[in-house]
């Protein structure tokens, strides 16, 4: 009994760390316009919309976070093998992984922008100076919490995988959670607000992203504020729930039916969530309905 | 069949020439790490990382070649399949002793060709350069994995990758848990290579893409990966050899990074600091 209570405590702690990681990951990637909104940011100058948005396309978020977290975990593993205290090792490993992330971000912005010279998109060096550091800070939070969570799974719950492999798996999961949950808020609700709500993005409006702010010109830090308000917490809840339920079902139900208990509970959780999702979707369609005549929306 | 579009301005080094440089260069550099076994030291581990850099430059040009067939979002996937095929070939090749690099190249070529045939004839992507490009990418991935692994543990032989030393109560004990493969550092190398191989073309694509800038970025990504592998190698090889690896990678990285920034400055439309949006004449 005591073992299960301890396990649930660790599960809750890991879930809390994962929530912070998800929120930081989504804010980081949105400031860098990584993930699916990137296509519009990349397209904008070609359609004549010169902008001051940070465009750091390293890869999709899942592979990129797979690398940052696996690298942080690998370096932390190496420092621990050198008999360095685990907390210090995780901090050092995450800091070095963030250095790599920052360098990749700068080269991605410079490369993409220099290749768009034909369309008159200049390189704004102040974007690199002010925004790379902000994305690095968010990435550090995301990497540190995820590596710490992986270390907890190994040292407290006795997970059999070595730290770097667990980092790779959970890094990809973190990127996927942020990409799937957080990006719709930023891309579809903030980036394309030049279009009327519900109008979608017709081809003629491609690249017409929000470039001017209430006062002055918008840059990616404004998108960071927006992401921190909606997309970040949503991604955090998503990744936190994934980690919590994954560990909870293992800790509590693994003794049942020689391990099959955890598998069955996993399937039950998926079914429950599928039913909830379906209910919300049907409710939203009924309540908000299909997009009708534009005069109803005007005021 | 997909239509070929030119990724950027022509010119530069022809692709076939880069294939020869990449293949011969990475093979020779990987064999230079064998000096460790001959001399009984670990000072030559950094040659493995240099082999990875050369292979990555070649791989970047191959990806550019392949992705000029309109594979915009397929650029990162090309990196994944390269390293995915490569890591199998490298681990198999490593078990064959001194012949490891050559066996690795042969196995990788077979895996890559099979993947290419599958992509073209089963998935029906019908891209003319698919088979040869995936063969090249698998070899590049395999050489990158083998090179970085040789850099981390000082040898490209399998036995060195599955034994690590840990000091318990002052005694050095050989274990599997603290080895390159036992500790899954190979997973870190896989991701380092997969992101490094696709990043350069992914970052530089566009109408203004220039070969020298893209390849300089490939070298920069290679040296950046080397820095982190050099830090990890402190856990496997001696302090002085690991320090030499770290110094070589940091010097290479600083040089390529400053060169890349200079090349970006050359190609950019304008290089502005804290300036407003320059609206094009006539408005958007």
* ipTM computed for the complex: 0.91
Same domain (yes/no): A282, A183: no
Nearest one of B261, B230, B204 to B64, comparing CA atoms: B204
Q: A122, B8: Cβ pair inside 8 Å?
A: no
Q: Return d(Cα B107, Cα A95) in angstroms, integer.
A: 37
Q: Terminus-to-terminus CA distance in chain B, angstroms? A: 35
Q: A52, B228: Cβ pair inside 8 Å?
A: no
At residue A36's C-alpha, the angle toward residues B53 and A220, to 5°, is: 85
Q: CA dist A245 to A253, A289, B166, B199, Å? A: 11, 33, 36, 34
Place of tokens 């190398």: B189
For chain B, domain boundaries: 15-267
pLDDT tens, residue order, chain A (299 aa) = 788 888 899 999 999 999 999 999 999 998 888 877 788 888 899 888 999 999 888 888 899 999 999 999 999 999 999 989 999 999 999 999 999 999 999 999 999 999 999 998 999 999 999 999 999 999 999 999 999 999 999 999 888 999 999 999 999 999 999 988 888 777 667 777 777 766 666 777 788 888 888 888 888 888 888 888 888 999 999 999 999 999 999 888 888 888 888 999 999 999 999 999 999 999 988 887 776 665 654 54
- Look up the domain containing A269 and give its range: 254-287
- Neighbour tally for B91: CB within 10 Å: 19
Task: Please tell me whether the overall predicted TM-score, pTM, comes out greater than 0.95 for this model.
Answer: no
Q: B208, A118: Cβ pair inside 8 Å?
A: yes
User: Mind telling me how many Å the CA of A115 is from chain B's nearest CA?
Assistant: 4
Chain A, residues 235-264, CB within 8 A of chain B, namely none
Inside any domain, residue A182? yes
Same domain (yes/no): A30, A130: yes
Same domain (yes/no): A280, A184: no
Same domain (yes/no): A218, A274: no
Residue A82 contacts B where some CB pair is shorter than 8 Å: yes
Same domain (yes/no): A229, A262: no
Beta-ladder partners of B271: A123
Residue A161 contacts B where some CB pair is shorter than 8 Å: yes
Same domain (yes/no): A157, A282: no
DSSP codes of every residue in A235-248: HHHHHHHHHHHHHH
* Counted domains in chain A: 2
Q: A111, B177: Cβ pair inside 8 Å?
A: no
Q: List, for residues B151-180, the tens digit of each pLDDT value.
A: 998 888 888 888 887 766 677 778 888 888
Same domain (yes/no): A246, A263: no
Same domain (yes/no): A243, A260: no
Same domain (yes/no): A209, A260: no
Q: Dmax over Cα atoms in chain B, in whole Å?
A: 76
Coil vs helix vs strand at A184: helix
Same domain (yes/no): A220, A277: no
Nearest CA in chain B to A115: B208
Inside any domain, residue A296? no
Same domain (yes/no): A61, A181: yes
Inside any domain, residue A75? yes
Inside any domain, residue A297? no
| Structure letter (DSSP) for residue B4 | P
Same domain (yes/no): A118, A240: yes
CA dihedral A47, A49, A54, A60 (to 10 degrees): -20
Chain A, residues 177-216, CB within 8 A of chain B, namely 211
Closest Cβ opposite residue A211 in set B166, B177, B277: B277
């Amino acid at each position: 009994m005591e073992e299960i209570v301890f396990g649930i405590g660790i599960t809750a702690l890991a879930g809390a760390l994962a929530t912070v990681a998800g929120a930081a990951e989504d804010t980081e990637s949105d400031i860098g316009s990584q993930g699916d909104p990137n296509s519009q940011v990349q397209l904008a100058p070609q359609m004549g919309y010169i902008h001051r948005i940070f465009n750091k396309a390293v890869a999709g978020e899942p592979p990129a976070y797979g690398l940052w977290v696996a690298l942080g975990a690998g370096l932390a593993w190496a420092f621990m093998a050198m008999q360095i205290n685990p907390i210090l090792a995780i901090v050092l490993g995450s800091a070095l992984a963030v250095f790599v992330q920052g360098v990749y971000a700068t080269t991605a912005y410079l490369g993409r922008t220099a290749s768009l010279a034909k369309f008159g998109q200049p390189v704004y060096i102040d974007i690199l100076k002010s925004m790379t550091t902000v994305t690095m800070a968010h990435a550090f939070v995301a990497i540190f919490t995820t590596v710490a969570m992986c270390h907890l799974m190994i040292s407290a719950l006795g997970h059999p995988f070595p730290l770097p492999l667990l980092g790779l798996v959970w890094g990809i999961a973190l990127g996927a959670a942020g990409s799937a949950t957080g990006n719709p808020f930023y891309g579809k609700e903030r980036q394309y607000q030049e279009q009327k709500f519900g109008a979608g993005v017709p081809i003629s409006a491609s690249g017409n992203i929000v470039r001017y702010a209430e006062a002055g010109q918008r840059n990616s830090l404004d998108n960071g504020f927006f992401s921190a308000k909606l997309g970040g917490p949503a991604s955090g809840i998503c990744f936190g729930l994934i980690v919590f339920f994954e560990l909870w079902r293992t800790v509590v139900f693994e003794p049942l039916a020689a391990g099959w208990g955890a598998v069955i509970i996993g399937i039950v959780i998926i079914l429950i969530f599928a039913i909830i999702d379906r209910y919300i979707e049907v409710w939203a369609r009924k309540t908000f309905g299909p997009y009708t005549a534009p005069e109803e929306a005007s005021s | 069949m997909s239509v070929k579009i030119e990724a950027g301005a022509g010119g530069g080094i022809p692709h076939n020439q880069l294939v020869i440089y990449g293949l011969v260069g990475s093979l020779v550099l990987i064999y230079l790490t064998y000096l460790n076994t001959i001399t009984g030291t670990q000072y030559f581990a950094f040659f493995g990382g240099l082999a990875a850099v050369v292979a990555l430059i070649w791989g970047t040009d191959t990806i550019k070649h392949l992705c000029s067939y309109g594979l915009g979002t397929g650029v990162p996937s090309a990196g994944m399949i390269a390293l995915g095929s490569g890591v199998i070939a490298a681990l198999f090749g490593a078990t064959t002793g001194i012949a490891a690099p050559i066996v690795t190249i042969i196995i990788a070529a077979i895996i890559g060709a099979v993947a290419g045939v599958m992509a073209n004839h089963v998935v029906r992507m019908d891209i003319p350069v698919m088979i040869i490009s995936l063969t090249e990418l698998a070899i590049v991935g395999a050489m990158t994995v083998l090179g970085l692994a040789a850099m981390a543990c000082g040898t490209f032989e399998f036995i060195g990758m599955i034994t690590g030393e840990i000091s318990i109560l002052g005694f050095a004990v050989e274990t599997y848990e603290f080895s390159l493969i036992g500790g899954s550092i190979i997973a870190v190398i896989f991701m380092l290579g997969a992101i490094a191989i696709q990043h350069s073309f992914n970052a530089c694509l566009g109408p203004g893409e220039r070969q020298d800038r893209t390849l300089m970025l490939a070298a920069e990504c290679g040296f950046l990966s080397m820095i982190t592998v050099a830090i990890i190698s402190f856990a496997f090889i001696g302090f002085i050899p690991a320090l030499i690896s770290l110094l070589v990678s940091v010097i290479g990285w600083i040089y390529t990074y400053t060169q890349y920034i200079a090349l970006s400055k050359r190609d950019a439309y304008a290089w502005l600091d804290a300036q407003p949006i320059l609206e094009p004449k006539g408005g958007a």
